[in-house]
Amino acid sequence: MIDDDHPIGRRLGRRELLGLLGIAGGGLLFGSIATTVSGGKEYLPLPNLPSCVVKPELTEGPYFVDEQINRSDIRSDTVSGKIKEGSLLEVEFRVSQVSRTECKPLSGAMVDLWHCDAQGIYSDVRDWQLDTTGQKFLRGYQLTNENGIAKFTTVYPGWYPGRAVHIHFKVRANNHDFTSQIFFDESLTDKVHAGNTYQKSGRGRTRNERDGIFRQSGNQLTLNLTETEKGHQAVFEIGLYL
């Protein structure tokens, strides 16, 4: 696969963030968010908000296809029915709408998930190396319920040259899009990728610290996974300004 290290997303600037929060000064309470200021990073104080947190927006990359496949279990190819092999991964998104004083569960938001398989291959794309046009595996969306929750069953992603292990997601609500990526603890990836399903030839995977897109995440986009009898699971909370 080709390298998708080409950022198109952005963090909120200081003026934009404070404007959205309705803060004239930037009162010191607790919490912070990484913003881009003159090409560098600045961690701004956030007001005393509940637990949902604004996350950095990151590049969509070249492999988003708006398939409109409404499903929670995204492991199978909808054409052939074949289920992708790999370590089971269950991710629960908890999406909130942020205001100055509270975070309310955001119902009816469309959460898209897409990522490569254990061998680093995306479905329904064509590049210089592979053509998977017409295949539709490891892609799908869910609408958040009344509690702002969307659940997905998938497999732990593999790797391809130039990128750390990651999953793409996009949240669409109220005519707004928010696109970013989630990452994984390297020691856990070492363990999972030791399995036969993930074995492949090549120079080896790019680790988080060497991935330019991961470095834009401010360490806010790494999943906190817990082990289950069948694989791993995680809850990922995100607050959006709409």
Task: Write out pLDDT tens, residues 20-33.
Answer: 444 333 322 223 34
Point out the least confidently predicted range of 79-93, 97-111, 167-181: 97-111
- What confidence category does residue 4 fall into, taking pLDDT thresholds of 50, 70 and 90? low
Q: Is residue 15 part of a domain?
A: no
Q: Is residue 35 part of a domain?
A: no
Taking alpha carbons only, the member of 117, 97, 101, 113 closest to residue 241 is 97
Reported as a single tens digit per residue, the pLDDT across 117-175 is 999 999 999 987 789 999 999 999 999 999 999 999 999 999 999 999 999 999 999 99
Mean pLDDT score of the chain, rounded to an integer? Answer: 83
At 154 the pLDDT is 98
Count of domains observed in the chain: 1
Q: Is residue 42 part of a domain?
A: no
Reported as a single tens digit per residue, the pLDDT across 201-224 is 777 899 999 999 999 999 899 999
At 50 the pLDDT is 46
Q: Is residue 21 part of a domain?
A: no
At 95 the pLDDT is 95
What's the domain range around 202? 50-240
At 20 the pLDDT is 42
CATH number reported for the structural domain that contains residue 233 in this entry: 2.60.130.10
Q: Is residue 38 part of a domain?
A: no
Q: Is residue 44 part of a domain?
A: no
Q: Is residue 219 part of a domain?
A: yes
Q: What is the mean pLDDT of residues 173-180?
A: 94
